[in-house]
């Protein structure tokens, strides 16, 4: 393999309303073939982000980051907290070449998703990557690939060996849900619905509401169609969708057929004043933090990030979002204030450490965030939260300019650049 110098210098970013950053960039063309089956498709490029300014486009392929190709969106964004430089290997569809981009560890501002073949290969390898890949295949409607992937889990019982409260020969897991869905969508409706109905009746409580919502999606179509039954199913599915943050577009589409518009309740507080100028205890600082004082001291173009988490904070979405926040905070000048994490209990004893391990990563890298205690859950109650965590970005006036998940650095870039 040879390398040819493509260009070097620095990227000057001036999109932060006065905040200016220079990042060293070195691009080289790589003389090597590309295996698209093992790549990640770049689905979104944030406007005025470093990726946008370097000519990266949706449809390009991300091959590896620092030589690692076993990735996900969280890996791509959170690894930046630990590194002094990052090498992104990207295949440009427009230029038809493979390029290594060596850059300071600034988040590029891209959203990626694995190729369907890559997802299936991850399940075939028996290196169980979680249920996210199945959800991606289901939402894409890639039924043949979903069938292959789900058979790897359901028929082998492999996943059950990773779950402590299951017996080794227990084969009932979410694999049966996804296999049932694939069978229904490929013409074996009776066999598929039998698997899904068994999952809903006996095993759905062991999984996140996303899996339950998918099961209810098929229940709406296959259970006896009385008016009362249909109304109950639609109501349940609508509530599950809210609990999921409306993540699955396929569910939104079927509810729309029944007169329920997903946009009605997706971001209920966007554009409104935050529900309370809170004054909450911060155990790490041994005093209280006032939102009113924070807003009064803010610059006009700065943003205050707030994460509200009813219940304990040890969960995967929170840990992922915290890592992405850390990677962005280092490079946003004075635009992003320290994150406020509002919980009802500061105690992490008994929680799985990995579920909030990025808190320690931020501390080691001197990236500030503050856990604030709302023992009465007043903030979460006022916001009528159905799922957690939910992130908000507040401007100086206390208005909510962003609401939802912060699971990709590209979201930050899009928000900050208007």
**Residues 159 and 229 grouped into a single domain:** yes
Percent of the chain past pLDDT 70, that is, above it, reads 74
Decide if 21 contacts 331 (C-beta within 8 A).
Answer: yes
Report phi then psi at 266, rounded to 5.
-70, -45
Q: What is the mean pLDDT of the chain?
A: 78
Question: The domain that contains 358 carries what CATH number?
Answer: 3.40.30.10
Last residue of a domain, one of 114, 133, 152: 114
273 occurs within a structural domain: no
Q: Name the one residue in this structure whose structure tokens are 């610059």.
A: 299
- Strands, E assignment, 86-231: 86-92, 97-103, 110-114
270 occurs within a structural domain: no
Question: The domain that contains 29 carries what CATH number?
Answer: 2.30.42.10
Q: Distance of CA 275 to CAs 269, 271, 297, 339, Å?
A: 9, 12, 19, 17
CA distance linking residue 80 with residue 338, whole number of Å: 18
Residue 383: name the closest of 225, 261, 218, 272 by CA.
Answer: 272
62 occurs within a structural domain: yes
269 occurs within a structural domain: no
Asked if pLDDT for residue 93 goes beyond 60, the answer is: yes
**Residues 260 and 124 grouped into a single domain:** yes
Domain assignment of residue 44, given as a range? 3-114
The token pair that represents 175 in the structure block: 């694999």
Low-confidence winner among 188-202, 261-275, 395-409 (lowest mean pLDDT): 261-275
CA distance linking residue 173 with residue 159, whole number of Å: 8
* Domain count within the chain: 3
Tens-place pLDDT, residues 313-352: 767 778 878 888 887 787 766 788 999 999 987 666 656 6
CA distance linking residue 77 with residue 96, whole number of Å: 25
41 occurs within a structural domain: yes
CA distance linking residue 232 with residue 140, whole number of Å: 27
The pLDDT, as a whole number, for residue 20 is 37
CA distance linking residue 205 with residue 280, whole number of Å: 34
**Residues 133 and 153 grouped into a single domain:** yes
Query: CB-side exposure of 66: number of CA atoms within 13 Å?
Result: 15
Pairing of strands 110-114, 40-45: antiparallel
**Residues 134 and 249 grouped into a single domain:** yes
* Average pLDDT, integer, range 297-302: 89
> 75: pLDDT confidence band, cut at 50, 70 and 90?
low
Low-confidence winner among 68-77, 192-201, 353-362 (lowest mean pLDDT): 68-77
Pairing of strands 339-343, 369-373: parallel
**Residues 175 and 249 grouped into a single domain:** yes
Last residue of a domain, one of 66, 90, 114: 114
Kindly report the pTM of this predicted structure. Answer: 0.69
Tens-place pLDDT, residues 21-69: 566 778 888 888 888 888 888 988 888 888 888 889 999 999 988 887 7
**Residues 146 and 110 grouped into a single domain:** no
């Amino acid at each position: 393999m040879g390398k040819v110098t493509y260009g070097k210098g620095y990227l000057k970013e001036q999109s932060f309303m006065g905040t200016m950053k220079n990042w060293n960039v070195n691009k080289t063309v790589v003389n090597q073939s590309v295996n698209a089956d093992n790549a990640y498709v770049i689905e979104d490029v944030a406007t005025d982000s470093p990726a946008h300014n370097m000519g990266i486009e949706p449809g390009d392929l991300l091959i590896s980051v620092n030589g690692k190709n076993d990735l996900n969106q969280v890996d791509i964004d959170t690894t930046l907290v630990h590194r002094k430089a990052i090498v992104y290997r990207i295949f440009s569809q427009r230029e038809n070449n493979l390029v290594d981009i060596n850059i300071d560890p600034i988040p590029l501002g891209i959203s990626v998703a694995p190729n369907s073949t890559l997802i299936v290969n991850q399940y075939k390898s028996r290196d169980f990557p979680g249920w996210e890949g199945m959800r991606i295949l289901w939402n894409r409607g890639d039924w043949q690939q979903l069938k292959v992937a789900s058979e790897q889990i359901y028929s082998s019982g492999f996943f059950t060996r990773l779950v402590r409260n299951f017996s080794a020969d227990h084969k009932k897991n979410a694999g049966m849900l996804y296999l049932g869905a694939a069978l229904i969508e490929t013409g074996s409706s009776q066999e598929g619905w039998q698997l899904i109905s068994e999952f809903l009746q006996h095993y759905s409580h062991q999984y996140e509401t996303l899996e339950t919502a998918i099961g209810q999606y098929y229940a709406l179509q296959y259970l006896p169609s009385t008016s009362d039954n249909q109304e109950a199913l639609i109501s349940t599915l609508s509530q599950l969708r809210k609990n999921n943050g409306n993540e699955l577009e396929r569910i939104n589409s079927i509810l729309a057929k029944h007169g329920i518009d997903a946009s009605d309740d997706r971001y209920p507080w966007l554009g409104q004043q935050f529900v309370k100028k809170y004054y909450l205890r911060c155990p790490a600082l041994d005093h209280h933090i006032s939102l009113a004082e924070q807003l009064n001291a803010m610059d006009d173009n700065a943003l205050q990030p707030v994460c509200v988490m009813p219940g304990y904070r040890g969960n995967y979405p929170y840990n992922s979002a915290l890592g992405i926040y850390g990677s962005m905070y280092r490079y946003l000048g004075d635009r992003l204030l320290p994150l406020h994490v509002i919980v009802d209990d500061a105690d992490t004893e008994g929680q799985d450490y990995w579920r909030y391990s990025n808190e320690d990563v931020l501390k080691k890298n001197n990236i500030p965030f503050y856990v604030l205690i709302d023992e009465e859950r007043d903030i979460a109650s006022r916001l009528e939260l159905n799922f957690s965590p939910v992130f908000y970005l507040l401007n100086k006036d206390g208005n909510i300019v962003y609401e939802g998940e912060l699971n990709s650095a590209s979201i930050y870039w899009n928000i900050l650049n208007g």
